[in-house]
Amino acid sequence: MTNQQIINNFISGDTKGKVNNIRIEGEKLINYNTIIAVRRKNNIILNKDKYSVTTSKIQNIIRKSAYNITEITEQEIKNIA
């Protein structure tokens, strides 16, 4: 499984899955220990803060793959997760 596949699975509603350092835990997509996105019904809430090159790639895949995206900060995403 690739990063793209796990992200697509997350967007599609999967609640479990893991590849490399990215995992789905319920409604959350986590890279290492950082919440990258949270799924709420038909909306993806994306952590817009800057991290590593790899994390930026994950964020950009989500931006290109999901339809309804709201971007917020890491602190804000922690408050809703």
Q: Which domain holds residue 34?
A: 3-80
Segment 21-75, tens digit of pLDDT: 999 999 999 999 999 999 998 899 999 999 999 999 999 999 999 989 999 999 9
This prediction has a pTM of: 0.93
CB of 50 closer than 8 Å to CB of 57 = no
Domain count, the chain: 1
**String of DSSP letters for 12-68:** HT--EEEETTEEEETTEEEETTEEEEEEETTEEEEE-----HHHHHHHHHHHHH-SS
